Amino acid sequence: MIVNGNNRHSDALLEMESVSVNFPVKRAYPFSKRQWIQAVTDVSLRVSMGETFGIVGESGCGKSTLANAMIGMIRPTSGTVRFQGDDLFSLNRQAFKAARRNMQMVFQDPFSSLNPRFTVYDIIREPLYIRGGVSESDMKGKVLELLNLVGLDEEDLQRYPSDFSGGQRQRIGIARAIILNPSFLVCDEPVSGLDVSVHAQILNLLMEIQQSLNLTYVFISHNLAVVKNICQHMHVMYLGKTMEAGAADSVFSNPLHPYTKALLSAILDIDVSRPRERVLLKGDTPSPIDPPSGCRFWQRCPFAMEGCKTIPAELVNVEPDHHVACHLISGFSSEQKAAGFAQPLSPQHGE
């Protein structure tokens, strides 16, 4: 099923169709049962040209794995990834490389994503150098141009990453990501490693670059406030599955899934004038090895019913461009109701 509406066929830059990614777990003994981490299960999404697409979830929900699958760094166990209409994993080597040039990534940790032994110049020009076919002077010109764009000086060129603060390093990382003129940029928690006062700087920079270079972003974050401010569409993920998806406006104005509601209420707002009732979730996120049957969220869900334990919740369309995977919304059939599936579980079930 395609998630984000039907009228956007033509302008889709990236499409994922029922993508699943499983990783094998190292066996404890040679003949013990092979186990799989189900990092991403059956996720479909469509990113349109020029938009910012948000992916939200807690650690371990598979959002980074999904991002890696998007740009072809991980081959999905099943499902297809189409970039500009081409199936990324059926391209030949040369075509794949060409496609990859168009998709770049900004990483979370600006301390481990830059080679400490490279100067800033080496770091930023490396993608260009690897692609080849550019003269040294052209390269230098291009690097300088980008350096100005991200707000660094020419004299920074010969310095090393260790001379810079976290925010400046992230600027270097952004310059490196856009030097090949990509059309698609995946930002994997680009500000969560930075100081509060620098957050806004980097986010504003990313927005400016998007405007001037006409980029499409996939923005991964656990900060719903940021996602709300910059994204047009979003996916809320939990344990590898999409819980709620759609236009950011409708998800935020009308959150339907209990997990989305819990996430929203868990953001501590600094607005002290209006105290809010908080929904506290019980327990921890279960392990993605052997995830819970039925709806993946039922063990922590305050509204879980009998049927949630066994029947997986499918994404259903609730309003234009807004999809939810929850039995509370989709309801059970009359036979299922007769079997007692709509009975609420006791409030203590999660403990």
**Distance (Å, rounded) from C-alpha 293 to C-alpha 288?**
11
Q: Is the dihedral of CA 115, 68, 200, 272 positive or negative?
A: negative
> Counting contacts by CB under 8 A, is residue 236 touching other proteins?
no
**Cβ nearer to other proteins, comparing 28 with 280:** 280
Do 311 and 293 form a contact (C-beta atoms < 8 A)? no
- CA 254 to centroid of chain Cα atoms: 21
Taking CB under 8 A as the criterion, the residue among 6, 162, 165, 333 binding other proteins is 165
> Counting contacts by CB under 8 A, is residue 130 touching other proteins?
no
Taking CB under 8 A as the criterion, the residue among 55, 263, 301, 313 binding other proteins is 263
> Counting contacts by CB under 8 A, is residue 159 touching other proteins?
no
Q: Residue 220 pairs with which residues in a beta bridge?
A: 55, 188
To 10 degrees, the CA torsion angle through 283, 285, 291, 295? 70
Between strands 233-238 and 216-221, the pairing is unpaired
> Counting contacts by CB under 8 A, is residue 226 touching other proteins?
yes
Of the candidate spans 110-118, 152-160, 256-264, 290-298, the one that interacts with other proteins by CB under 8 A turns out to be 256-264
By CB under 8 A, the residues from 194 to 213 that bind other proteins are 195-201, 203-204, 207
**Distance (Å, rounded) from C-alpha 38 to C-alpha 23?**
7
Taking CB under 8 A as the criterion, the residue among 153, 284, 290, 319 binding other proteins is 284
CB of 342 to other proteins, least distance (A): 26
Q: Residue 27 pairs with which residues in a beta bridge?
A: none
The label of the residue with tokens 């819990």 reads 262
Copy the structure tokens of residue 221. 């974050």
**Cβ nearer to other proteins, comparing 259 with 341:** 259
List residues near other proteins by CB under 8 A: 58-59, 165, 167-168, 195-201, 203-204, 207, 222-226, 228-230, 252, 262-273, 278, 280-281, 284-285, 351
